[in-house]
Amino acid sequence: MTFPESFVWGASTAAHQIEGNNVNSDWWAREVDPASTLAEPSGDAADSYHRYAEDIRLLAESGLTSYRFSIEWARIEPSEGRFSGAELDHYRRMVDCCLEHGVTPLITLHHFTSPRWFAEDGGWTDPRSVERFARYVEHVLPLLDRASHVFTINEPNILAMMITAAKGAEQLQAGTMHAPDPVATEHLIAAHRRAVELVRTVGVPVGWPVAPQQFFADPGAEEVLREYAYPRETVFLEAAKGDDFIAVQAYTRTRITVDGPLPAPEDSEKTLTGWEYYPAAIAEAARLGYEITGLPVLVSENGIATADDARRIDYTRDALRALHAEMEAGLPLFGYLHWSLLDNYEWGSFAPTFGLVAWDPETFERTPKPSLGWLGGVARGTVSLDD
């Protein structure tokens, strides 16, 4: 079971979840609010803001060759219209570090978090949000020309649902969340299209990562599924038509009955996020993304929250086998990025561990898990998925 030589192998992270002390972001404000319902704040997180070189080195030494990371709008534009040259230089050094280690950088422009001033002044429900985001993108264009791919807005379907959620208390899973805010949906799509135009001026392929929930219908519930899925994922996939690629991120599936969605079955194996263990989700999402957009497909996130690293390998092996089968059936899949390189802050708690690398909360010492070497071996061709 082999993949093309040009296949992209790597891992992903998001700035707020690993950097630490992102004090100007809307999520930081939510975390430290005395009325917060979140289990814990992000605090220092994994301190990857200062330790990114070690993280990139570990990725490279494993055999992986691509690193998807996000640049943090709240650091780059901490107050409206005032851009930090020091922070732009910080992310430029991250790109330099990737290239020095033979790692290809893939850059996300927005991964759930926004500057506090932006959120407090209407956020994505404000019509000014489109031009505000475009202004930020214009300022970061000099960082992007050495990336292989750029992602505009991470999981816009989940982001639009978060806006309707009660202070972020809901799970970040479309099957259990309120419908997306329709105004935010409109603005996110418009902002994406503006960003695509801008990024193309530096000659880098650009798209966005959508998170299908792999809705599947009981007999007789097919129309319920279509109506339920359209505002939660289909409209965002349709908005990618004309982009350079479609990225997909999937972890589980959601059953739709005539009465709507159901939670994971009681008797199913569940991950630390409470999601059903279902490795085939990512292959189904990749097929869905291709069928709607007709674009080449990149898996920009896929993984499992578990304390059992052997089970992480099991999940990833079965996910890759399912993806390989889709490729043999004609799916133009060109890469797989694992979520996540590091255990990280999962939007309210450090408990759900997705990482290929663990770290000590006191010393920040990194400990690569067996899964990192295993996935690197798959990328190198020294580990077979047939085993």
Closest C-alpha to 361, from 16, 20, 5 = 20
CA angle 275, 167, 21 (to 5 degrees): 90
Question: Is omega for the bond preceding 6 within 30 degrees of 0, making it cis?
Answer: no
> Residue 156 burial (CB < 10 Å; 0-12/13-18/19+)?
buried
HSE value, Cβ hemisphere, 13 Å, CA-based, for 173:
21
3-state secondary structure of 104: strand
Is 155 labeled as catalytic in the residue annotation?
A: yes
User: Which residues sit opposite 66 in a β-bridge?
Assistant: 10, 104
Residue with tokens 């589980």: 252
Question: Which of the following is catalytic: 19, 31, 87, 155?
Answer: 155
331 CB neighbour count, 10 Å cutoff? 19
DSSP 263-318: PPPTTS-B-TTS-B--TTHHHHHHHHHHHHH---EEEEE-----S-HHHHHHHHHH
Helices (runs of H) and strands (runs of E) counted in the chain: 14, 14
Residue with tokens 């290239």: 99
User: Which residues sit opposite 149 in a β-bridge?
Assistant: 106
> Residue 5 burial (CB < 10 Å; 0-12/13-18/19+)?
exposed
Active-site residues, by number, are 155
